[in-house]
Structure 1
Amino acid sequence: MTIPATATADAASLAAGDPRSPRRSGAPGVLRAGLASISLELRAYYRAPDTVFFTFLFPIMMLGIFGVAFESMGEIAPGVTMAAYYLPGMVAAGVLLTGVQNLAVDIAREKGEGWLRRLGGTPISPVSYFIGKAGMILLTSLAQLALLLAFAALVLGVELPSEPELWLRFAWLFLLGIATMTLLGIALSAVPRSSRSATAVVLPIVLLLQFISGVYLQFTMLPEWLQNIASVFPLKWLAQGMRSVFLPESFAATEPSGSWDLGLVALLLAAWLVVGLVLSLLTFKWQRRT
Structure 2
Amino acid sequence: MTTTTATPKLPAGRTVTLGASRVAYEVKTYFRQGDSVFFTFLFPLIFLTIFSVAFSAASFGTNASGDKVTAAEFYLPAMLAAGVLLSGLQNMSIDIANERSDGTLKRLGGSPLPVLSYFIGKIGQVVVTGLLQSGLLLLVAAVAFRVELPTDPAKWLTFAWVFLLGVSTCAVLGIALSALPRTGKSATAVIIPITLILQFISGVYLSFSQLPEWLQNFASIFPLKWLAQGMRSVFLPDSFKTLEMGGTWNLSGVAIVTAIWLVVGLVACRLTFRWIRKDS
TM-score tier, shorter chain, comes to over 0.9
Cα distance, 1:76 vs. partner? 2.7
Question: CA offsets per residue over residues 145-187 of structure 1, 9 Å max, x none?
Answer: 1000000000011111110010011111111101111111011
Indicate if the aligned counterparts of 2:90 and 2:191 stay in contact, CA closer than 8 A.
Answer: yes
Alignment of 1:24-39 (within 5 A): 26-39=11-24
Give yes or no for the alignment of 1:89 onto 2:78. Answer: yes
AA of the residue aligned to 1:29: R
Indicate if the aligned counterparts of 1:184 and 1:277 stay in contact, CA closer than 8 A.
Answer: yes
Question: CA offsets per residue over residues 182-204 of structure 1, 9 Å max, x none?
Answer: 11101110100101000000000
Give yes or no for the alignment of 1:76 onto 2:81. Answer: no
Question: CA offsets per residue over residues 238-278 of structure 1, 9 Å max, x none?
Answer: 10111000001100111121111111111101111111111
Q: For the residues of structure 2 that align with 1:113 and 1:89, how far apart are their CA atoms?
A: 34
Cα distance, 1:75 vs. partner? 5.7
SS at match of 2:146: coil
Which residue of the partner structure matches residue 8 of structure 1? none
Which residue of the partner structure matches residue 269 of structure 2? 280
AA of the residue aligned to 1:248: P
Aligned counterpart for 1:52 among listed residues 37, 53, 71: 37
Question: CA offsets per residue over residues 109-168 of structure 1, 9 Å max, x none?
Answer: 111111111111111111111111011111000000100000000001111111001001
Aligned counterpart for 1:153 among listed residues 115, 139, 142: 142
Indicate if the aligned counterparts of 2:94 and 2:178 stay in contact, CA closer than 8 A.
Answer: yes
- Provide TM-score, normalisation by structure 2: 0.92
- Provide TM-score, normalisation by structure 1: 0.89
- % of aligned pairs identical? 56
SS at match of 2:57: helix
Which residue of the partner structure matches residue 218 of structure 2? 229
Aligned counterpart for 1:241 among listed residues 212, 230, 241: 230
AA of the residue aligned to 2:82: A
Root-mean-square deviation over aligned CA pairs: 1.5
AA of the residue aligned to 1:66: F
Q: For the residues of structure 1 that align with 2:96 and 2:148, how far apart are their CA atoms?
A: 38
Question: CA offsets per residue over residues 181-239 of structure 1, 9 Å max, x none?
Answer: 11110111010010100000000000110010001111111111211111111000110
- With 123-132 and 96-105 compared, the bigger mean Cα shift is at 123-132
Which residue of the partner structure matches residue 127 of structure 1? 116
* Structure 2: gaps (5+ residues): 1-6
Indicate if the aligned counterparts of 1:109 and 1:198 stay in contact, CA closer than 8 A.
Answer: yes
Q: For the residues of structure 2 that align with 1:162 and 1:244, how far apart are their CA atoms?
A: 14
Indicate if the aligned counterparts of 1:60 and 1:148 stay in contact, CA closer than 8 A.
Answer: yes
Q: How many positions carry a matched residue from both structures?
A: 267
Indicate if the aligned counterparts of 1:76 and 1:82 stay in contact, CA closer than 8 A.
Answer: no
Cα distance, 1:80 vs. partner? 1.6
Which residue of the partner structure matches residue 3 of structure 2? none
Aligned counterpart for 2:126 among listed residues 137, 151, 164: 137
AA of the residue aligned to 1:26: P
| Runs of 4 or more consecutive aligned structure 1 residues displaced over 6 Å after TM superposition | none
SS at match of 2:245: coil
Which residue of the partner structure matches residue 19 of structure 1? none
